[in-house]
């Protein structure tokens, strides 16, 4: 008798481990989509804001050098000394980096919107379904409860 109980006990626990999930898991999925959407939107705004800041710094740095170049050109017209040109390597690198950062934020905005739409589209409820059943040699309309899970893709 002890052996039967010892062999049956793991069987009982393993059956419980493979049961279907409860409807409460639906809320977790919905909140996961919302959290993912919020994180993506935050990432998008950080990338966009950083790109704007880096591009602005690049433009300000370049505008100082451009003004200096114009002054040197005008002064060079009236003198015989050669005009020294500025190097715009750092400004160009910052401009490209800022623009790339702003462009990289676009897919994050799109993905955030899609995940938010998925979170709002999901719903779960209980609905009474009707079925025709044969009972005592005639068809009878019988209702039964059903769990409805809607996920719009």
Number of domains in the chain: 1
Neighbour-count burial of 72, counting CB atoms closer than 10 A to its CB (0-12 exposed, 13-18 middle, 19+ buried): middle
Whether residue 43 is contained in a domain is answered as yes
Whether residue 146 is contained in a domain is answered as no
Helices (H) and strands (E) in the chain, counts: 3, 2
- DSSP symbol at 1: -
Whether residue 99 is contained in a domain is answered as yes
For 28-55, the pLDDT digits (tens) are: 577 788 899 999 999 999 999 999 999 9
For 1-28, the pLDDT digits (tens) are: 777 776 666 765 665 555 555 555 555 5
Whether residue 78 is contained in a domain is answered as yes
Whether residue 138 is contained in a domain is answered as no
Question: Which residues 6+ apart lie within 8 Å of 125 measured at CB?
Answer: 147, 148
For 46-89, the pLDDT digits (tens) are: 999 999 999 999 999 999 888 888 787 777 766 666 667 778 88
The boundaries of the domain holding residue 88 are 27-120
Q: What percent of the chain has pLDDT over 90?
A: 33
């Amino acid at each position: 008798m002890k052996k039967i109980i010892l062999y049956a006990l793991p069987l009982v626990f393993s059956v419980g481990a493979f049961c279907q999930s409860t409807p409460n898991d639906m809320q977790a999925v919905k909140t996961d989509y919302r959290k993912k959407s919020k994180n993506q939107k935050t990432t998008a705004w950080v990338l966009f804001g950083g790109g704007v800041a880096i591009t602005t710094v690049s433009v300000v740095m370049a505008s100082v050098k451009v003004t200096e170049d114009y002054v040197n050109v005008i002064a060079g017209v009236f003198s015989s000394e050669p005009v020294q040109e500025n190097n715009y390597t750092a400004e160009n690198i910052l401009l490209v980096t800022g623009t790339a950062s702003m462009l990289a934020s676009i897919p994050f905005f799109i993905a955030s919107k899609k995940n938010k739409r998925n979170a709002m589209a999901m719903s779960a409820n209980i609905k009474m379904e009707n079925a025709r059943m044969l009972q005592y040699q005639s068809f009878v309309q019988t209702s039964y409860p059903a769990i409805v899970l809607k996920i719009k893709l």
